[in-house]
Structure 1
């Protein structure tokens, strides 16, 4: 499923280093960048399998770096349940033979996320609607995660709409991404695309991802995060469009 020639190993390491750097600067984006770039050189299901270990390690780190884990877990458990169910079920799409459509789906998810973020489109969720919306947002996020390996739509805009303070938002994103990673791993394993007893290839991506995060945190102190994020989203938009159009050409 995955080509482990020296050139591909180098390419994978560079992808996760870059993805980690983006996460270090912006606080998110490792799965999105990794899936987008790896999708150029391998099928999305192979990229998703490589993503599991580095995504889990970096997201657990982010999850437990804040002060409000118990409160956020209690508040968002319906959303997390929806993510888990949707991702496990949606992984059937990623592991099917329809590589053309999963590549296009990955590209569409990247394009939509980048477009919404560049437009700075924000909405607010009234408190009385949160409990009703959370399971549906979670289920939609899970299905998209299972089908494309991208964790952000619609979870990230929804969590931003809850008007959490900065630290709680970062921790809530860590919770969402961690649940998405675990559920995706279960879904892939259930469909024969990921073996929990043989995660060497995915584990090899942890080191470059962590090195990239360290570099990204240093870059964040020297450049404008807003400017970096804008150019990152423009690149992501172009990459997404390329993945959408490639199977049609």
Structure 2
């Protein structure tokens, strides 16, 4: 009983922290939650826990502005291939040993943190979008399916499309929402996400939303850029820990 309450408290704290990160930076809830939950459970179980809070927070972000129609028309090849790649990749997440899927998650976190910290800002010419969008979507879907984290390479790609600030927030929300639904579908198909897990996944909405509210309050008092740098270093350390854990 005490162990169950401790685990529930720890999971709630993780989602509170992840929500704060999203409130401060506009993204990062699944990434932070997956990286921390990965120290308590298998990535497949962590991904199942993420379904409801990730869906709720990203739908809100997706419909936070008027550009959703134009973004759907522009980004539909990316969206379709994210679904295809995620459904295929989720079979690996469901059937791979937790140690190996944990290593894959660690590698994804390390690559994302390294890219975000070191890579220069890129710009994608509009003429390249028709063939680059489906390719980026497919790779993002496969990475999402394997690791439960849906930031690479979709996030840097969307950031390179010269969208204005509000459009970028909506585009990220759209990508994350579709990735969440596709991951839930893939995990359900492979019997990893079960209906009886909806209770726990729904329960952690509360600390997630509380964390987002706190993060938005904190954002006005700190530099989001400096906070993001510290967060990325933290994710890199966590990623490295997940990679070396099977060898310790």
2:219 corresponding residue in structure 1:
220
2:244 corresponding residue in structure 1:
245
Structure 1 position 120, deviation (Å): 4.1
Structure 1 position 235, deviation (Å): 0.6
- Secondary structure, aligned partner of 1:5: helix
Q: TM-score, normalised by structure 1?
A: 0.97
- Secondary structure, aligned partner of 1:163: coil
2:116 corresponding residue in structure 1:
117
Summarize deviations over 1:43-91 as a string: whole Å, max 9, x none.
0001000000000000000000011000000100000000001111110
- Structure 2 stretches of 5 or more lacking a match? none
Structure 1 position 122, deviation (Å): 2.3
The whole-number CA distance in structure 2 between the counterparts of 1:76 and 1:244 is 33
Summarize deviations over 1:8-40 as a string: whole Å, max 9, x none.
111100000000000000000000000000001
Summarize deviations over 1:149-181 as a string: whole Å, max 9, x none.
000000001001111111101100000000000
2:28 corresponding residue in structure 1:
29
1:16 corresponding residue in structure 2:
15
1:210 corresponding residue in structure 2:
209
Structure 1 position 112, deviation (Å): 0.6
RMSD of aligned Cα (Å): 1.0
Q: How many pairs align?
A: 246
- Secondary structure, aligned partner of 1:81: helix
Q: Is the 8 A contact 2:49 2:197 kept in 1?
A: no
- Secondary structure, aligned partner of 1:8: helix
Summarize deviations over 1:111-159 as a string: whole Å, max 9, x none.
1111111114322211111010111100100010010000000000100
